[in-house]
A and B are shown apart, each in its own frame.
Chain A
Amino acid sequence: MTEAAVYSLVAGIFVGFAAGYVGSLMVLKRMALVGDALSHVALPGLALGILFNFNPFLGAFAFLFAAAILTWYIEKTTRLFPESIIGVLFVTALAVGILLTPEVDLLEALFGDITTVTLVDALLAVGISVPIVVVSRLVYQRVVLSILSEELARSTGVNVALINFIYLFLVTVVVAVGIKLVGTVLVGALVVVPAAAMKNVSRSLSSYALLSGLTGIASAGSGILLADYLRLPAGPLVVTVGTAIFAGALVAGWIASRK
């Protein structure tokens, strides 16, 4: 294994768990496609990082964060659903990002490149993923309660607007760190596929969240190892492994429901 592949694997394990864990909330909120679309908003930020020679992660994070705040604010103050808001942001950001990104770097921005992952990237991924999981765990019950019934959540003192903001912030950060590994096009799948798979086989909320995180590790880890072995891009392989797990979980859930 190359040094870059080892760093990628370490980053993949931590980001995979964080993405799966946060993704389990996205799937419950029925925002799977929103997460996918949101990830594309990072492209102009990546492009600016490449053009002006600063860490593209910071550019991606800044754009994602701005998009998340805009989405949260519009959702809070209008009757628009997040899908509509992010749908508009997504196409605009993608168009601007493709126009800005130098052609030579476009493929890496869209699909990631594990051969360029450095020790700093790996440490950044670990250092960000751990707090993401910790904060997610702290707000998990309140997010789920607000999904079940916003009124019930508010009646128990949950600040639903604040909780939604924290949740969107977590999504933003996990998407930003995942982009280095699998690119802007596929990072949405890193977040959504593990949770979509485990919802088929989970019998309780705690097992669902944990299994989603572990499936994220399995997808990212296996995908990166396969990419290193086959000399293929990691992003598509991570998503392919995740999809295979999803298919297996779907069958397992179907068999369990017939017993």
Chain B
Amino acid sequence: MVVVPPPSRSPTRDTGAAADVLRVANLGVRLDHIPILEDVSFHVRRGTTLAIVGPNGAGKTTLFRVLLGLVPHTGTVEWSGPVRIGYVPQNFVVTDVPITVRDFLGFKSEAGFEESLAAVGLGGAVLPKRLDVLSGGEMQRVLIAWAVLDRPNVLLFDEPTATVDIGSEDMLYESLNRLEKDTNITVFLITHDIHIASRYSDAVLALNRTVRFFGAPSRLSEPDLLMEIFGSGSGLAEHKHDFGARGFR
């Protein structure tokens, strides 16, 4: 395991350990007696983005399920202060259910739809649309609007761009970028895309049942480290983007 204390990319946010929103120590999860996570320890600073990378079956989604309190575990998961978690799941596909965006957002709150949609670059015109006619990018942004509807201070994002094209992917991360700046939200981002992890995060947690790396995203350009995280490198994905000078922050 390689551990490097992750520096904040934004000096104004570098307020020391006291600013940690989450501290995880010696976390372990077993499902049907099979170890899924073992001895996982890391910490996350408030208002930053932690990218979680690793090959399939590495335990990334299980980690989210632990953070949501959905699976039993050993070790400690300690949130600092009250947290309201917004969750955007992987593979959310709606087919053949007569449900509109308004219906869907109404499951969580009775008001604030337009404000949440505006935060992700969508207008109120999308409210009467059925979920099953939305494009992949629109659906993901509606999911973020759902997640931020009750003003969470932590956002869990599981493979947010797995089903969207690259153009929509850019818009999605811009929306997240705006949210993070405007609300000082802490983002946990599961991704297969090393480029996105290195470009858009403040720290990277590489999992493969145990922690393979926890540190600065700039280290993801080192071939030896990628070998350590992904083995042969077959789990590595990198999309071709034209980010120009624009970053996540």
Contacts and interface: CB of A to CB of B under 8 A. Distances in A.
B157 interface: no
Given A149-B89, A149-B92, A151-B89, A202 B98 contact: yes
Contacts of A78: none
Interface residues of B, number: 21
Contacts of B97: 28, 144, 147-148, 205
A144 B99 contact: yes
Which of A142, A147, A206 gathers most chain B CB within 10 Å?
A206
B89 A152 contact: yes
Contacts of B70: 151, 154-155
Nearest to A151: B89
Contacts of A205: 97-100, 103
A55 interface: no
A4 interface: no
A152 B99 CA distance: 16
Interface string A155-181: 110000000000000000000000000
A154 B100 contact: no
A231 interface: no
Interface in A173-216: 199, 202-208
A145 interface: yes
Interface in B73-120: 85, 87, 89, 92, 94, 96-100, 102-104, 106-108
Interface of A: 28, 141-142, 144-145, 147-149, 151-152, 154-156, 199, 202-208
The 9 A-B residue pairs with the shortest CB-CB distance, nearest first, are A205-B103, A155-B87, A202-B98, A208-B98, A204-B100, A205-B99, A141-B107, A155-B68, A151-B89
